[in-house]
Amino acid sequence: MLDIAAIRTQFPILGREIYGKPLIYLDNAATSQHPQCVIERIADSYCRVNANVHRGVHTLSQEATNAHENARKRVQRFINARHSHEIIFTRGTTEAINLVAHSFGEAFLHDGDEVIVTTMEHHSNIVPWQLLQSRKDIKLRVIPINERGELDMEVFRNLFTERTRLVSVMHASNVLGTINPIEEIIACAHAHGVPVLIDGAQGVPHLAVDVQRLDADFYVFSAHKVYGPTGIGVLYGKEKWLDAMPPYQGGGEMIAQVSFERTTFNELPYKFEAGTPDYVGTAAFATALDWIEATGFEAMKAHEDDLLQYATQRLYEIDGMRILGTADHKTPVISFLVDNIHHYDMGMLLDKLGIAVRTGHHCAQPLMHTLGIEGTVRASFAVYNTREEIDAFVAAVNRVSNMLR
Ligand code: PMP
């Protein structure tokens, strides 16, 4: 059992008041808050260590380089990648998917080829493929969902054609909370000789990920959703794919030799890391992963599962409550609507009561279209949330609903 009260004291922001009420932060699927150790690591990097990484012979540069490269090994261990050079640092999930769409797309996708995605994808796993469509005549094939918000695996198995070149699907939905059967998806795609990209932005915070056991070809996620800093993301890719893909951006770091006649590229991972990396961010990200490990990932998950069950059951006590996404396996994310109350009104009034939830389409407009709605109110939980906060949240939703009805 975790001591949640003790964990909360490590998060300075949780001491804030909003409109004179204690902050109840239920927007963790958008970004999680930071423990003191992560904040201190950022300050410490700037106070004691700061210097540009790689190639510097002076002490500060070597220390900064070590911190950055140790962070890469820390991420490697977190998701059990075979090699540390299979970990590419990006600005986030979005940049990681754009990198693959651009670079894998350049090398492996041709006119007439097909990429399989799902109805529930975040825009960041839709639009990069559409940008590629301006250069190549590729098609998106879409796996539909059932009324519970689960993928229709029967349809998925029949979407493969001889032109399928990639399956690109989310591990878990940021709207519905659905945990997709990615083991089955990967096995099925591989049986057709097709590689798979997993958007793990909502997977990594709540599910233990072992990329070798999964046999994922690409797995991408953002540090800021796992208690780490903003502006850092990870592209894990199997060496064989990354080696065969051309660079994404050009500049410093990513080259071996440059002349005006001919440039050769650096080895992995640097081939994909043009320019000065966010080495302060990567070091703090490693601290966040250490913090998760020290706190206990499985215990965190058990607590979050408890919050999900409790909040679901309590929300259904409210008249007119409709929860979107009722899959058996969910991350601690609840999207809901009450009667015909607008999600935006609900979110605004909850804020006045100190409660932070997200409202809108959650960067998943095709999913909203499928559900026949414009948006939802979304509450999402992290390890520092409590049953008492959920009680206050449910009481607030009830109060706001009665006001607006
Ligand atoms: N995919 C999913 C499933 C997400 O939830 C998010 C963040 N909302 C993203 C991609 C994009 O992540 P980022 O903004 O950190 O690049």
Task: State the pTM of this model.
Answer: 0.98
Helix 387-404 × helix 297-315 angle, to 10°: 30
CA-CA distance, 98 to 202, in Å (whole number)?
18
Q: Which of 161, 203, 159 is nearest to 179 (CA)?
A: 203
Q: Which of 28, 363, 365, 376, when mutated, tests ligand 1's pocket best, judged by the most ligand atoms within 8 Å of its CB?
A: 363
**Total residue length of the chain:** 405
By alpha-carbon position, which residue is closest to atom 2 of ligand 1?
201
Question: Which stretches of 160-237 are assigned E, i.e. beta strand?
Answer: 164-170, 196-199, 218-222, 233-237
Angle at 225 between CA 149 and CA 250, to 5 degrees: 105
Peptide bond into 269 cis (omega under 30): yes
Residues designated as active site: 363
Question: Do 378 and 175 touch, CB atoms closer than 8 A?
Answer: yes
Angle at 28 between CA 23 and CA 34, to 5 degrees: 75
pLDDT of residue 333: 98
Decide: 168 in ligand 1 pocket, CB within 6 A: no
CATH of region 40-293: 3.40.640.10
Q: What are the Cα distances from residue 244, in Å, to 128, 240, 313, 375?
A: 20, 6, 49, 40
Helix 279-295 × helix 297-315 angle, to 10°: 80
The type of residue at 211 is V
Residue 178 CA, ligand 1 centroid: distance in Å: 15
Q: Which helix (H) or strand (E) holds 195?
A: none
Residue-range domain boundaries for the chain: 4-30+296-404, 40-293
pLDDT in tens, 273-332: 999 999 999 999 999 999 999 999 999 999 999 999 999 999 999 999 999 999 999 999
Name beta bridge partners: 237: 218
pLDDT of residue 38: 98
CA-CA distance, 308 to 213, in Å (whole number)?
27
Q: For the chain, state the CA radius of gyration.
A: 22
Residue 95 CA, ligand 1 centroid: distance in Å: 10
Residue 142 CA, ligand 1 centroid: distance in Å: 19
User: What class does CATH assign to 4-30+296-404?
Assistant: alpha beta
pLDDT of residue 312: 98
CA-CA distance, 372 to 137, in Å (whole number)?
29
> CB-based contacts of 380: which residues, under 8 Å, 6+ apart?
26, 27, 28, 29, 30, 331, 332, 333, 334, 358
CA-CA distance, 234 to 88, in Å (whole number)?
6
User: 89: helix, coil or strand?
Assistant: strand
pLDDT in tens, 42-79: 999 999 999 999 988 999 999 999 999 999 999 999 99
User: 138: helix, coil or strand?
Assistant: coil
Q: Which of 168, 174, 235, when mutated, tests ligand 1's pocket best, judged by the most ligand atoms within 8 Å of its CB?
A: 174
Residue 202 CA, ligand 1 centroid: distance in Å: 8
Question: Do 206 and 301 touch, CB atoms closer than 8 A?
Answer: yes
Ligand 1 atom nearest residue 94's Cα? 16
pLDDT of residue 55: 84
Decide: 165 in ligand 1 pocket, CB within 6 A: no
Sites in the chain below the pLDDT cut of 50: none
